[in-house]
Amino acid sequence: MEEGELPTDGAAAVVEHDAETTTLPVPTHGPLAVGTRSVLGPCGWVDPLDPTAYLFHSLERDAGAIADAGLVGRGRGDAAADEPAADVWRRARETDGDPVVVVNANDADDRQRADRTLLAGSPMSVLDGVAAVAEYLGTTDAVIHVAETDTELQAHLQEAIDAAADELPVVPAVVTGPDEYRAGEPTAALEAIEGADRIEPRLQPPTPAEYGLYGRPTVIHTPRTFAQIRLALSDPEGNDRDAESTTRLLTVTGDVTAPATIEVGSDAHLSAVRNAVELEGSFKMACVGGVFGGLSRTLDVTPTAAGLTAAGLGTEGVVELLNDERCAVATAGERARFASEANSGRCVPGREGTVQLTELLRAVYRGSFDREKIRELGRVMTQSSNCQLGADAPRPVLTAIDEFESSFEAHADGRCPSGTCSDKL
Amino acid sequence: MSTDDPLPGVPELDDPQHETPVTAEFETGTANDPPVGTDGETPTTVTVNGTQVTVPPGSTVIDAMQAVDDEVVSVDPGADSLDEDADVPALCYYDREGDASDEIGPRSECRTCMVETDEHGVVPSCSFPATDGLTVETDTSAAEESRSVNLDLVLSNHNLRCTTCNGNGRCELQETAINEGVDHPRYGVFDERSEYEPLDDSSSFIQIDRNKCILCNRCVEGCNDVQVEGVLRIEGSGEDTRIGFQSDAETMADSDCVSCGHCATVCPTGALTEKGIGGAGTLPLPGFTQRNSVGNVIEHEEVETLDDTTAPNRSPAPGSAGSAGGEAEAGQEGRSGIARYMAQSKRRASDFLGEYGRKAMLAGEHTAENIAAQTLPEGRLFDIASLVSDYRLGKIDKAETTCGFCAVGCRFEMWGKDGNALGVQPVDDPDNAPANNFSTCVKGKFGHDFANSKKRLTRPLIRNENGEFETASWDEALDYVTGELREVQDEHGVDAVSCLASSKGSNEEAYLIQKFARQVLGTKNIDNCARLCHSSTVAALQQTLGYGAMTNRINEDIGEADAYLISGSNTTESHPVLATRIKQNVRDGADLVVFDPRKIGIAEHADQYTRTTPGYDVAWLNGLIRYLTEHDLHDEEFIERNTKGFAEVKRNVQAFTPEKVEELAGVSPDELQSAAETLADAENVVFGWAMGMTQSSHGTENLLAMADLALTLGQVGKPGAGLSPFRGQNNVQGGGGDMGTLPGSLPGYQDPADDEVGEKFAEAWGERPPDEPGLKVPEMLSEAHEGNLRGMYIVGENPALSEPDIQHAGEALDSLDFLVVQDIFMTETAEHADVVLPAATSPEKHGTFTNTERRIQRVRASAEPPGKARQDWEITQELAARLGYDWGYDHPREVMDEISDLTPIYGGVSYERLDSGDEHGLQWPCWDEDHPGTPYLYDYEEGNFNFDDGLARFVPADGGHPGELPDEEYPFTLTSGRVLYHWHTGQITRRVEGLMSHVGESFIEINPTTAAELGVSDGEYVRVESRRGDIVVKAEVTDRVGDGTLFIPMHFAAGAVNKLTQETFDPQAGIPEFKVSSVRVEPLGPDADPDVLRTPDAGAGSAAHGND
C-alpha cells in the first residue's frame, strides 16, 4: 500500500481504471460483471459520507424536469409502486396543504437488500433525489423512515444527512419505525412516523399524495426510487436514456452462498441473476418478488413491472433461488402462515383470509386438496384486501398450484415428492 | 402490542390536526384514516347497475347505491331485496344519518360491500369515493364472490351461539347471514371451546364477549369519537387483534369506562351488549345464557343499593365498600362477632351450592350446544335462532320516548317487558332524536332500573295514630287528603296550604298541579324545585332579554359554536350528552374557556381553564366586560341597534379593575385578558352555565352580568351563539316554569295580575287565579316553621334532602298540620308525610317534556306503574273531583289542548303535531298551529327581544360577598354539586346497582395541600362540620378542587351535604346559596363509628341518631 500498490491476492477481479472514475469499475466477467452499474455505481467505490464526491443534480433542477420521463416507483414500500412516480408528485402539488416527502426504508423482510445497499453505499444519491422531489413540491419537510433496530444505519444516515445539510436545499429527518413487516406498507409507514403505538395501514383512496403524514399531501418512495430519480435527473432531456439506463435493482438470495444485489436493464433476462450468486444444490424453483412473490420453475421473463406481473410474479426486487430440497407446498404454506401472523388485523380478507388460506394448506396435508376453494379465496383476498399484504399473500400459494399441482396432489395422498415434509405445517 | 412504547413521531413536522389536551392522549390503535367520499364542492353523477344517480359532494359509492331505488340495489345487513343478486350487506358499515353517526366509520373492515367498477375494478363501496362518471355494478361475479367469501370469513371467526347470545334477533351478522342465505359457511364457524376468550361480565351494565366480536371497530369510535372518552381501543395484530382498553385495565370494571353505552349501542353483534336487555331474544330456559354458553366468565362484584340498606356501601374498613354486597342486613343491624361469621359462612355455603349447580348446568348446556353444532347446518341454527328471537322480541314493549333524567331531552326507544323497564335502544329515525341521535349517558342508557325497584310505592299509605304508615285504598287516601286540605283551609284560610309541582313529571301533570292549586284550592302558593336550580337564571334573562330560557339550540348552535365560555357547569357529569357535542366541537377546533372553582371534566378539554374563588363570579364577568369595552372589543353596532342601558353597565364595571378581579375572584389579569380576547375573536360564542352560577346569594346578579357580557359581544340571536343555561330536570323548563308552577306566573309566564289574562283563565276554569304572587319554596318552609303555612301537597319533590340546612327543613315539614306526598318511593320527604300517594315514573307515562332548548317532545309508556300506583294526572284529577271540580280528562292529550288554548307560547302545540311533524318536537314560542316553532330566540340584526320596544336591556350587576365567609372556626369553603352517576337527591339512582358501583357513597374532595394540613389521607372517613350540623363522608384527595375549597355531592342521604349548607337566599329569585358554606374537617381514621356510617342524615333511621 505504502508503495502505491494494492494487494490483489484473493481479489475476485482486478480492473484497471482512470484516476477520475466515480463509479465502481467492474470486471468483464464473473459475478461482479452481471448487469449494469448505474444507480449502484458509487456503491463500494465513493466515500458515502463525502458530499463533494457527488454532483448534486437537485442543485440544478428539481424533479419537475423529469416529470414526463415515466419513471415508476420501486418496491412495496413505495406509494407509487409500479406506477408513474410523477403522477403522485402532481397530485401532491395539486392538493391543498404543505407537502411532505417520505423515504420509506423500513423493510423488515431482509430478502430485499437493495434499499439498504443504496443507503449504506450511496446515501448522497438518495438524498439528492429527495431534495429534487422536495424542491418540486415546494417543501422543506422530508422524513426518512428506517427500522428502529438498525441503529447502525440510523447513525450512518444521520452522518450523511449532516454532511449534506449545507449542500442540499432539503434534507430529511431520520425517524424510526418498528421492525414489523406490516410497517413497510406505505400508509402503515405513515402511522409509524406519526408515532402510532399500533401499526395498521390506512384506507385508500384518497392516496397519501392527498392525505398523508398528519393529513398533509405526501410523496412516499423507496430509496431505490429516489436513486432512480437522481439518475434520471443527470440526463433530464433523456438523450442518453435507453433501455440500459432504466434499470431495476434485484437482490438475489435464497439457497445461495452469499446474497447479492445487482442492477439489470429492463431489456435483461431475469435468468441473468443466476450468474451473480453461487447456488447451493441444484435449482428447483425461484420465488420472484419477495416473501409474497410468485413461485416459478423458470426465470424466463424480463425484470420489468409489466413483464413480471404478466408472469404472475411479484415486482418487489427480490429473486430467491430455491434448490431441490425445497418443497413447493411447504414453501407456499410457510408464507401463508407468515401472512396470518404478520398482518395488521385490519381487514377481514387480510386477517381471516390468511388464516383460512393456511388452514386450506393444512388440509392438503390432511388429505384434502380443494384447489378451487383455494383459488377462490386467493382471488377474493387479492381483490378485496385493504392493503398489499393481504392482496399479495395468496401469490405464493396460487403460483405454487399452477407450477406444482402434482406436488399438491401428492401431499394430499400423504407423500412429499421432495421428501422434505414430515410435519411442516 | 398495546403495551409497546409509542414511537416518537416527527417533532420537526407540524401536525395540523386539532386535538384537545385530552384527545391528544387517546390511543385508539386505529390508523389516521383520510376522510372518505368525493372532495371538491360539486355533486357527482355515477351509474349504479345501469341507473344514473347524482350525489352531493363528499359521497361514497355506498351513498350513491343508497340514493338509487331499492329495486336497483339494497344496502344494509338486513337487505332483503327483490332481486336476490342486487343486495350488498355492508356488514360493518354503520348505516345511520346524523352528527353522532357520522363519527362512526367507515372502517371498511369486513369487505362485504365490494362492488365492481369499470374504472377501478372491485372496490369497497362504503369507503370508495363516488367520483364523477364512475360505473358501478353490484352483481358481477367478482363482486358477488368477494362479498360472499368475506362474509364467510367473518363467520369463520364468529362464535355462532345465537340462541344463547344477547344479540340474538338484533344482530347484524345474523341478519346478513340469513338474508344472504348462508347455510354452510365455507370455512366453518368459531367453536373451539378451548380457544374461547373469557366473557367479561365485570361491569354492571355492559357485557363483553369477544368471541362474538367481528372487529368492526364501531365501539372504539363510539367511545373515542362520539363520547370523546378514550376508554376502548383496538389492540394486537393478525389473529390476536382484539378490542381492549387504553389504560392498563384488563376488564370493563377496571377501565375508566363512564358507561355511556355507545359501544353496546353501535355493536353489530352480541359482542358488546346491555346487560339490562340481556337475552331479550334468547331461549327463555334457565341457564341458557351467553355467560353459560361461553363458560369462562369474569364476574361482576355487586355493591349495595338503597333498596338493600339505608346507608349503602359505608364501612370503616378501607377498601371494603365494594364488597359489602349482600350483607345489608348484617350491616344494618350492626351484627358483630359470631353472628357476622355465621352469616358469611352461610353465604359461602350457598355460593358453593350455586357454583356446583352452575357447573352441572353448564355441562348440560354445552352438551346441547355441541350436539346442535355438530348435527345441524349453520343455516338451520340461524332459522331456530331467528324463530326464537322473533317470538321473544315480539313480547317486548317498545316506545319512542324522551329521557326522564336531565333536560338535554335525549330521545330513544325504551324497551319494556311485563310492565318493567328493560333498557333503551336508539330511535329508528335520527330526526326523532334531535338533541342526541343515538348518543346517551350512563343514566339515560342504563339508569331506568329504579322503575322496577321492589321498593316502589305500590299502594297509598296513611299515617295512623301511632305514627306508622298503613296501606289504604285509593278512596280512603283521596278522601282523607281532600278532607284534611279543606279543613286546613277552612280553619286557616285558603293560603294556609301550598303545592309543590314536580319538574320530573310531564307538562300536563305540572299544569294540573298549578290548576289544582289556583282553581281548586284557590291558593296562590304554588312553586317547584326549579326554585333551587335556575330561578336566578330565569329572573336575570327575563330582565335582560325577555324570555327566561335558553336562547338557542343544542346540536345546531351549542354543537357548532366557535368558542365557549362555560362557568359553573360540570357539563360532562350533569349534561353528558350535551357535553359530548361540546367535546367533539372543541376537538374539531372550537375554543373552550372554562371558569370554575373545580377543574371538572369539561375543563380537561379546555383551551383555557381558570380556577375561580367560589362566590365572586360577578367580579370576573364584570372584569371581562370592562376589558372588552376598554379595548374596543365590544360589538358597538349591535349594542347601538338592539339594546339600551349599555352606558350604565359600562360605568358600573369600571370598578372591576383587573386587580380588583384578582383580589375577589382569584382570576389573574393575564387570564382575564386571554379569555376576553378568545371570546372577542370568535365569530360565534355560546355562554353556558348551570348551578355554579345560579345557586348563589347573588345568583341573579351573576346571570345579569353573564347576559350583559353576551350583549356586549353581540352574541345572541344568531346561529352558533347564545346564552345557554343548561337546565337540570328533564322537564324543568316546561313543568318547572312554562306551565306556571311558579308563584306569580301563570302558564306561559302570563301575569295573573293582568286582568285580561285573569279573565281568560276565569272563563276556562270557572275561577280566576289569585292575582298576587304566592310563597317560594324556601318561604313555604319558613312559613311552615312560623305556623302560617299548615298544609302541603308535594308532588315528586324531595325538599327534606334538597333544601339547604335539611334539619331545619325537616322540622318545618314536621310542623305542618297536614302533608301529602305523591311520589314513586318512600323519599326522605315522604317520611314526614301524613299521606303518601304512589305515582308513576317516566317510562310509565304518556305526556310531554320540554327540554332545555325549549323543545316540547313526546313521552310514551313502555312499562306500567307497579301495584296500585297511578298516573300523576289521574291522582290530581281525582283530588280535584272530590273537591268539586270535574276536569274530565281522558288522556294527557286533552290537557295539552287546554294548555295550548290558554298559553300563547304553546299555542301551536298538539299531540297530533308532535306525533307526526317532519321535524321532531316543537320549540316554543310556537304561536299557532301553522307556526314552525322557534329554533333560536331573538335576532342579531333585528333585535326582537321580548319587550314592547324589542330592545335588550343591559342591567348593572354588583355582586357582593357570599352569605358565609371562612373564618378561624370554620376555615374552609364547601361547595356542592353532582356526579355523573347520580340524580339530584339520589332516590332513583341510589337504587340502581350499576350506578352505585360507579359511585357508591357520598364523598368529599380535598386538595392534596389541604389534606396534608389536616392529616387526611385518601379513602379515609372525615367529619365535616358547619354551623348547621355535621356529617361523615369519605375523603377523596384530588386537585380537582383548589387549596381550601371542598366539594361534596348532593345525592346522598348518608353524608348529606345539605345538613351543612346555609339558608342564605338570592333576594330576587329566592334561590339558596348551596355553593358556598364555611366548614371545618376532622379526620376519623380507621375508627370511624360504623353506627354513624350506617345512619343516614335524612330519611329512614335518621331520627334515632339525628338531632344530636
Chain A residues closer than 8 Å to B269 by CB: none
Q: Where are the domains of chain A?
A: 34-238, 247-323, 328-412
Helix or strand or coil: residue B933?
Answer: coil
Query: CATH assignment of A328-412, given 1.20.1440.230, 3.40.50.150, 3.40.50.1980, 3.40.50.1240?
Result: 1.20.1440.230
Torsion angle in degrees (nearest 10) through CA of A248, A251, A252, A258:
140
Contact A383 B1 (CB under 8 A): no
Residue B114 near chain A (CB below 8 Å): yes
Residue ranges of B 699-718 with Cβ closer than 8 A to chain A: none
Contact B156 A356 (CB under 8 A): yes
pLDDT exceeds 70 at position B363? no
- The shortest CB-CB distance from A214 to any of B5, B16, B153 is to B16
State the pLDDT at residue B8.
54
> What angle is formed at CA B923 by the lines to CA B920 and CA B924, rounded to 5 degrees?
150
pLDDT classification of B329: cutoffs 50, 70, 90: very low
Q: What is the pLDDT of residues B664-720, one digit of tens each?
A: 999 999 999 999 999 999 999 999 999 999 999 999 999 999 999 999 999 999 999
Q: Which three cell numbers stand for residue B337?
A: 362477632
Which whole number is the average pLDDT over B896-917? Answer: 94
Please report, for residues B321, B336, B338, B346, B356, the alpha-carbon distance to residue B342 in angstroms, rounded to integers and kept in the order given. 20, 10, 6, 6, 21
Q: Could you write out the DSSP letters of every residue in A201-223?
A: PPP-SSPTTTS-GGGS-EEEE-H
State the pLDDT at residue B724.
96
Contact A205 B128 (CB under 8 A): yes
Residue ranges of B 151-210 with Cβ closer than 8 A to chain A: 153-154, 156-157, 186-187
Q: Could you write out the DSSP letters of every residue in B58-78?
A: T-BHHHHHHHS-TTT-EESTT
Report DSSP state, residue B926: -
Which whole number is the average pLDDT over B330-336? Answer: 42
Residue B562 contacts residue B683 (beta carbons within 8 Å)? yes
Report DSSP state, residue A350: I
More reliable by pLDDT, B1099 or A189: A189
**What's the average pLDDT block by block, 10 residues per block, for chain A (425 residues)?**
69 78 80 85 89 92 92 95 96 96 96 96 96 97 96 96 95 95 97 95 96 96 96 80 72 96 90 93 96 95 91 95 95 97 97 98 95 97 97 98 96 91 63
Please report, for residues B804, B960, B1046, the alpha-carbon distance to residue B614 in angstroms, rounded to integers and kept in the order given. 17, 12, 10
pLDDT classification of B435: cutoffs 50, 70, 90: very high
- The shortest CB-CB distance from B31 to any of A191, A205, A355 is to A191
Contacts of A230 (CB under 8 A, 6+ apart): A39, A57, A58, A125, A126, A128, A129, A132
State the pLDDT at residue B338.
44
Which whole number is the average pLDDT over B504-524? Answer: 97
Contacts of A159 (CB under 8 A, 6+ apart): A49
**Which of A384, A385, A387 has the highest number of chain B CBs within 10 A, making it the mutation to test binding with B?**
A384
Contacts of A240 (CB under 8 A, 6+ apart): none
Rounded to a whole number of angstroms, the distance from the CA of A297 to the nearest CA of chain B is 29
Contact B146 A187 (CB under 8 A): no
Residue B682 near chain A (CB below 8 Å): no
Task: Quickly name the fold that domain A247-323 has.
Answer: Ubiquitin-like (UB roll) (3.10.20)
**HSE (side-chain half, CA atoms, 13 Å) at B611:** 11
Residue B299 contacts residue B251 (beta carbons within 8 Å)? no
The answer to whether the Cα torsion of B747, B749, B753, B758 is positive or negative is negative
pLDDT classification of B941: cutoffs 50, 70, 90: very high
Contact A384 B235 (CB under 8 A): no
Residue B609 contacts residue B594 (beta carbons within 8 Å)? yes
Rounded to a whole number of angstroms, the distance from the CA of B810 to the nearest CA of chain A is 57
Alpha helix positions (H), B940-1071: 993-998, 1008-1014
pLDDT classification of B535: cutoffs 50, 70, 90: very high
- Distance, in Å, from the CA atom of B988 to the CA atom of B338, rounded to the nearest integer, reads 35
Residue B247 near chain A (CB below 8 Å): no
State the pLDDT at residue B321.
41
Q: What is the pLDDT of residues B709-755, one digit of tens each?
A: 999 999 999 999 999 999 999 999 999 999 999 998 999 999 999 99
pLDDT classification of B375: cutoffs 50, 70, 90: low
- The shortest CB-CB distance from B238 to any of A143, A193, A341 is to A341
**What ipTM goes with this model?**
0.95
Q: Look-up: residue for cell 348505516?
A: B95
Chain B residues closer than 8 Å to A351 by CB: 215, 238-239, 241
pLDDT exceeds 50 at position B828? yes
Which whole number is the average pLDDT over B434-457? Answer: 94
Q: Which of B967, B979, B966 is nearest to B1005 (CA)?
A: B979
Domains of chain B (ranges plus CATH)?
461-529+732-933 (3.40.50.740), 534-728 (3.40.228.10), 972-1094 (2.40.40.20)
**HSE (side-chain half, CA atoms, 13 Å) at B1041:** 26
Answering whether pTM is above 0.80, one says: yes
Count of A-B CB contacts under 8 Å: 190
State the pLDDT at residue A69.
87
pLDDT exceeds 50 at position B1090? yes
CA A195 to chain centre: 24
State the pLDDT at residue A285.
97
- Kindly give the pairing relationship between strand A247-254 and strand A318-323: parallel
Alpha helix positions (H), B29-136: 61-67, 99-102
State the pLDDT at residue B295.
85
State the pLDDT at residue B753.
95
- Kindly give the pairing relationship between strand B563-567 and strand B685-689: parallel
Count Cβ neighbours within 10 Å for each residue of B132-165 and write b for 16 or more, e otherwise. eebebbbbbebbbbbbbbbbbbbbbbbbbbbbbb
Contact A380 B32 (CB under 8 A): no
**Which of A216, A352, A356, A358 has the highest number of chain B CBs within 10 A, making it the mutation to test binding with B?**
A352
Average confidence score pLDDT of chain B? 90
Please report, for residues A402, B42, B46, the alpha-carbon distance to residue B60 in angstroms, rounded to integers and kept in the order given. 38, 14, 10
Contact A341 B239 (CB under 8 A): yes
Q: What is the pLDDT of residues B171-190, one digit of tens each?
A: 999 888 888 888 889 999 88
**Which of A197, A211, A370 has the highest number of chain B CBs within 10 A, making it the mutation to test binding with B?**
A197
Query: CATH assignment of A34-238, given 3.40.50.11540, 3.60.40.10, 3.30.70.3420, 3.40.190.10?
Result: 3.40.50.11540
State the pLDDT at residue A24.
81
Contact B146 A191 (CB under 8 A): no
> What angle is formed at CA B792 by the lines to CA B786 and CA B798, rounded to 5 degrees?
100
Q: Which of B167-176, B692-701, B891-900, B939-948 has the lowest mean pLDDT?
A: B167-176
Which whole number is the average pLDDT over B397-403? Answer: 94
State the pLDDT at residue B1106.
33
pLDDT classification of B6: cutoffs 50, 70, 90: very low
pLDDT exceeds 60 at position B5? no
